[in-house]
Structure 1
Amino acid sequence: MNAVTQAHKPIEKRVIHAGEHHVSRNPIILSTLLGSCVSVCLYDPVTRVVGMNHFLLATRHPSQDPVLASDAGRYGLGAMELLINDMLKLGARRANLRAKAFGGGNVLATRLNELPDRFSIGKINIDFVQRFLAQDRIPLVAQDFGGTMGRQIRFESNDFSVYLRRIPIKRTSSILTNEKRYFDKELKQQKAPRSNSVEFW
């Protein structure tokens, strides 16, 4: 009876919102909705630890280069390091990590998207993720970036597969609202007076 009950135990499901991440070493399905944001699905195929994040790289200086040295890079770097460090705490090994990354669509209506494409929020996100993974020597085994559509992704830990569904721009109002709220929050924090305390990234 116990064996049957265990076999049919419902798998955990978790939705990741902008600014969040989650890691697990148990069977799980992680999902999120993306517009200009990027989501990185990380997994260690040996220890079977998995994780997903969802971040929007708000920046006051979108023309700054390289991306890793900009405010955008700082936000992205923090999001990636939190995800990786929490996975390592569960037993994952950095050398085993593999990545699948998605998002960076040109769908967020902000003044940044009035700049040339290379300065758009989505493009900044894409450039950052690709550079970060290359510099950390984490293979990017699958990716789907850019375009003008939203994305719904579902990351399944049983075989590390990611299922993607594109969402037409006319149906992305909830995504745009959430990302705009997140972007405005980050922008407000950037404009707030900074303390003299040391920040670690």
Structure 2
Amino acid sequence: MELGTSEPSYPGSGNWEIPIDLFGSKKHVGVPHGDLAFVDESGDIVFRVNRLQPNPNLLPLPKDKKLLLDASGSPLFSIYRYHNGSWKCYKGDNSGNDELVFTVKRTVKTLTRVELEVHFHGERSNDEGCDLKVKGSPFRRSCSIYKDADLVAQSSLMYKLHQIHASRSKFRLTIFPGTFDRALIVALFVIFLSGRK
């Protein structure tokens, strides 16, 4: 089963029949300190997230830019966060902003809860409402991603026996079988983590 995404079509790419678990942390060997990485059950890096300086030529000026990279370091998505609580995700390392994949709007923001609406760009976009919803608590690294009433992915902190407090630096992201590309779900989860800011 191929974990990378060479030429996916969005919003969905590939079908698999069992849930996939990815384990996220900022403390992985071979990843620069502070960069978020996702590994598979064997401990092999599948995705990495790099934070970059936004391009000052973009208007409106993004507050933040992140790159989602595959295991080999090739850019899959550029994620731009804006001051109004919205995000735009472009295919690859897109400095020209011409391959928009989806936009995300924050609809709920409280101390303990964030809700996001995802709108895909292009033919498959749902004109009457959002295409996906993301709900949960970024502080707890806990969220659920839905398409209508169907659960697409879910995250939670990793708990260990005899540990009083769960470390917030390690979490699990479970992606359920369906038509959504794993890289796209990871990009949404990265956006969710910064949703309370």
Name the TM tier (shorter chain): under 0.3
Q: Greater relative contact order (Cα 8 A, min sep 6): structure 1 or 2? A: 1
Whichever structure has more strand as a proportion of its residues is 2
Q: Which structure: larger Rg?
A: 1
Give the TM-score taking structure 2 as reference length.
Answer: 0.28
